[in-house]
Amino acid sequence: MNPAAKITAFTAALTASFGAAYGIGVTVGPGAGTAGSPERSAHAESAAPHTGESRTGSPAGGLQISEGGYALDLETPRMEAGQQSELRFTIRDRAGRPVTRFQREHDKELHLILASRDLVTYRHLHPTRAAGGTWSIPVDLPAAGDYRVFADFTPAGRNTGDLTLGADLAVSGAYKAAELPKPALTTTVDGYTVSLNGTLRPDAPEHLRFTVRKDGRPVTDLQPYLGAYGHLVALRAGDLAHLHVHPDGQPGDGSTKPGPDVSFTATAPSSATYRLFLDFKHDGTVRTASFTVPSSAATDTPRPTAPSDGHEDGPSGGHERSTTGGDEAGSHGH
């Protein structure tokens, strides 16, 4: 074969290869295989792992702004530190229409979590929804920095569980970086001491038991809050993967006692360090106890130890920016 013929044959083969690759790309392109795209097929949605999900751990929520045909439209992407602003957002369906029908989970149609990227500011809020589908709530964040907004909800008629969508929120002002509080098994908040027994594992469900005491005495008259004696949110340090953990048992079931213990069963999405936020209600006020814990398989973070004085740099310590408060106007802030 002469040189000209060889070049012609090579060009034809190369063209065929690119054509085959293009055909494959069209078949499994962005609409079918991109995680978080509302247009992805049902098969791709069930087969593709969520971002941040390990093969053995629970799915990590809140890393995507859209999932399963629903999207979080954050209408207030910026706020000013130390000034109250109205946070507004809408949940939209696959066609871009506002969603106006939700299932009630723990007494609310939607749970909103706000957390700073350094995990020292935390809010568990319950905004109000207008008839047109826009959610809103007044928010006052104490420090500048990057925050993450999590919307935890279940659309009406959805039978595959709740969704957690996340979006970034920028809070302007004088910024000062804060360190993640050190791992510990005991923390204090407003005179209450809360201890943790158990650890997160990425390879198996684990029981986490929190014990609430006040002035050294077990609290045995916790009050129901959102249909439970406690609510637990876990956020993974680094990317703030969200894990909403439901409690074991509920008030009035004949076996769940109102303290001093509140227990949960959880599986970590992966080996990492997590920040745990436990909401509990006593004497008419909702408080949040915060813990820093590594999952049991993490090797780069020391295991938590209970300090001798029963304190840590937590909700009442030097590093914690969050404040406690009651459930006012359908929300409470921490």
Q: Average pLDDT across each block of 10 residues of the chain; the chain has 334 residues. List them in order.
A: 44 40 34 34 31 48 93 97 97 97 92 95 96 97 96 88 93 90 95 95 91 97 94 94 87 95 93 95 97 70 40 35 36 40
Q: What is the token pair recorded at 121?
A: 């500011």
Q: Is residue 6 part of a domain?
A: no
Q: Could you give the CA distance from residue 314 to residue 311 in angstroms, rounded to a whole number?
A: 8
What pLDDT score does 178 carry?
85
Classify residue 310 by burial, with Cβ atoms within 10 Å: 0-12, 13-18, 19+. middle
C-alpha count within 13 angstroms, C-beta hemisphere, residue 95: 3
* Residue pair 202/268 in contact by the 8 Å Cβ criterion: yes
Q: How far is CA 184 from CA 67, 277, 307, 321, in A?
A: 35, 13, 7, 18
Q: Are residues 160 and 46 in the same domain?
A: yes
Residues 200 and 318 in one domain: yes
Same domain? For 55 and 155 the reply is: yes
User: Which among 172, 202, 233 is the end of a domain?
Assistant: 172
Same domain? For 141 and 55 the reply is: yes
Cβ neighbours around 130 below 10 Å, total: 12
pTM: 0.72
Positive/negative CA dihedral, 90, 91, 94, 100: negative
Q: Are 238 and 295 in contact (CB under 8 A)?
A: no
CA atoms within 13 A on the CB side of 156: 6
Residues 243, 232 contacting (CB under 8 angstroms):
no
Query: What total of structural domains would you count in the chain?
Result: 2
Q: Is 37 part of a structural domain of the chain?
A: no
Note the pLDDT of residue 184: 93
Alpha-carbon distance 31 to 39, whole Å? 6
The CATH number of residue 245's host domain is: 2.60.40.10
Closest CA to 75 of 149, 4, 152, 140: 149
Instruction: Report how far Cα 266 is from the mean position of its chain's Cα atoms.
Output: 13
Q: 191 and 168 in one domain?
A: no
- Specify if 151 maps to a domain: yes
The helix/strand/coil state of 333 is strand
Does one domain contain both 156 and 227? no
Contacts of 42 (CB under 8 A, 6+ apart): none
Q: Are residue 276 and residue 196 in the same domain, yes or no?
A: yes
User: What is d(CA 183, CA 275) in angstroms, rounded to the nearest whole number?
Assistant: 9
Strands (E), 93-191: 110-116, 122-125, 128-129, 134-139, 145-153, 163-172, 186-189
- Residue 169: CA count within 13 A, CB half-sphere: 29
d(CA 243, CA 236): 8
CATH code of the domain in which 143 resides: 2.60.40.1930
Q: What is the pLDDT of residue 177?
A: 80
Domain extent for 283: 186-324
- Measured CA to CA, the distance from residue 245 to residue 111 in angstroms comes to 13
Is residue 199 located within the same domain as residue 166? no
Residues 143/323, Cβ–Cβ less than 8 Å: no
Look at residues 150, 172, 194 and tell me which one is the last residue of a structural domain.
Answer: 172
**Same domain assignment for residues 166 and 192:** no
CA distance 141 to 143: 6
Does residue 100 sit in the same domain as residue 224?
no
Strands, E assignment, the chain: 66-67, 70-74, 78-80, 85-92, 110-116, 122-125, 128-129, 134-139, 145-153, 163-172, 186-189, 192-197, 206-214, 217-218, 231-236, 242-245, 261-266, 273-282, 285-294, 332-333
- The two tokens of residue 250 are 């509920």
CA nearest to 237, candidates 207, 261, 199, 268: 268
6's enclosing H/E stretch is helix 3-27
pLDDT at 61: 85
Q: Is residue 178 part of a domain?
A: no
Assigned domain for 26 exists: no
